[in-house]
């Protein structure tokens, strides 16, 4: 580099640091890779469902949808690293393609870009003058974003700690973990929507979102061990390969604490089908943990339906629940 570059360095330092389009493309490479292979867009359907009640102006709703999509995909990238996953949505996980350091940085960068986009709608004028009984205000967006990302990392962290310290949590501990790991991004979306709602501004929808988050985590745990579709996109029972204390596994361990088969298999973190199939058969036929998990899911579905009716009904939410029903 020629010395002349440094002779004028003060003039350069007077400007904000720049990121060229080419550098931006490389920084977001792992994120773009994940985002270009979308999932079932459950979060998009939930946003559309809650907007039936909240009527957020389209310009703001479009930004909220982008923000949630960015945070969600970034969280998947980190989750795959922490779980040492091979696949995501049927393709190699981002860190398998780009490496762990670049994927971590790209996920973190995407979260801050999402935060930057969120600030842009906070600065725009409110369309609604109905603020007297509003539960959440645009001025609270910073706090909402911080709180829910903290909840996400706490929930994710507990899941990892239990796995790595080989401690089986109680169901109550699991519920609190699920509220953070699975519920935080859902709550983030609905809380932001509540802050910009033009109708039902005094109604609290957070409890319904929490039910959906817990239900979604339990369902995901069930599907990981019982669904062919999950096997095709993530591999056979990869939760067992990760040594994860998922909901059916917790029940299986606690139902027959004198039998250490599941703990012994989790300790091995098996990659081949033999031990995984043995664990699945035990949970199915000995402890009936899949039947129990389904009964819990039915109870949560009933609660979600009842809460939806209390809030005035919601056809999109009802359709989504039917779609998720197993």
216-229 pLDDT, tens digit per residue, is 999 999 999 999 88
With tokens 């036929």, the residue in question is 285
Q: Assess contact for 204 and 190: CB atoms under 8 A.
A: no
Identify the pLDDT of residue 126. Answer: 55
Identify the pLDDT of residue 131. Answer: 57
Q: Judge residue 13's burial from the number of C-beta atoms within 10 Å of its C-beta, 0-12 exposed, 13-18 middle, 19 or more buried.
A: exposed
Identify the pLDDT of residue 125. Answer: 54
Which residues does 214 contact at the CB level (< 8 Å), separation at least 6? 175, 178, 179, 182, 183, 300
pLDDT of the chain, 326 residues: tens digit per residue: 566 667 777 777 777 888 899 999 999 999 999 999 988 888 999 999 999 999 999 999 999 999 999 999 999 999 999 999 999 998 999 999 999 999 999 999 999 999 999 988 865 555 544 556 888 888 899 999 999 999 999 999 999 999 999 999 999 999 999 999 999 999 999 999 999 999 999 999 999 999 999 999 999 999 999 998 888 888 899 999 999 999 999 999 999 999 999 999 999 999 999 999 999 999 999 999 999 999 999 999 999 999 999 999 999 999 999 999 86
Max CA separation in the chain (angstroms) = 76
Q: 58-112 pLDDT, tens per residue?
A: 999 999 999 999 999 999 999 999 999 999 998 999 999 999 999 999 999 999 9
225/165 Cα distance (integer angstroms) = 22
């Amino acid at each position: 580099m020629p010395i002349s570059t440094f002779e004028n360095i003060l003039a350069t330092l007077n400007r904000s640091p720049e990121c060229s389009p080419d550098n931006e493309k490389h920084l977001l490479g792992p994120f773009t890779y994940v985002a270009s292979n979308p999932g079932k867009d459950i979060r998009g359907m939930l946003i559309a469902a809650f907007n039936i009640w909240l009527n957020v102006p389209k310009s703001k709703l479009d930004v909220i949808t982008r923000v949630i999509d960015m945070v969600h995909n970034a969280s998947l990238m980190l989750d795959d690293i922490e779980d040492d996953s091979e696949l995501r949505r049927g393709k190699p996980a981002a860190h398998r393609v780009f490496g762990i350091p670049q994927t971590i940085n790209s996920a973190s960068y995407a979260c801050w870009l999402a935060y930057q986009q969120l600030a842009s709608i906070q600065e725009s004028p409110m369309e609604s003058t109905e603020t007297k009984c509003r539960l959440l205000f645009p001025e609270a967006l910073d706090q909402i974003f911080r709180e829910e990302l903290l909840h996400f990392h706490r929930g994710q962290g507990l899941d990892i700690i239990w796995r790595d310290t080989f401690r089986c949590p109680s169901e109550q501990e699991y519920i609190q973990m699920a509220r953070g790991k699975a519920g935080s991004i859902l709550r983030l979306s609905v809380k932001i929507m509540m802050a910009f709602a033009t109708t039902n501004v005094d109604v609290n929808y957070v409890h319904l979102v929490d039910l959906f988050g817990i239900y979604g985590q339990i369902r995901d745990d069930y599907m990981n061990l019982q669904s062919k579709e999950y096997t095709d996109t993530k591999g056979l029972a990869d939760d067992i390969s990760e040594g994860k204390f998922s909901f059916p596994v917790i029940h299986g361990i606690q139902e027959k604490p004198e039998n250490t088969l599941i703990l012994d298999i989790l300790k091995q973190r098996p990659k081949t089908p033999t031990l995984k199939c043995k664990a699945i058969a035990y949970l199915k036929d000995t402890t009936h943990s899949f039947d129990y998990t389904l009964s819990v899911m039915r109870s949560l579905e009933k609660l979600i339906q009842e809460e939806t009716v209390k809030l005035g009904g919601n056809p999109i939410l009802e359709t989504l629940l039917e779609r998720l029903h197993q």
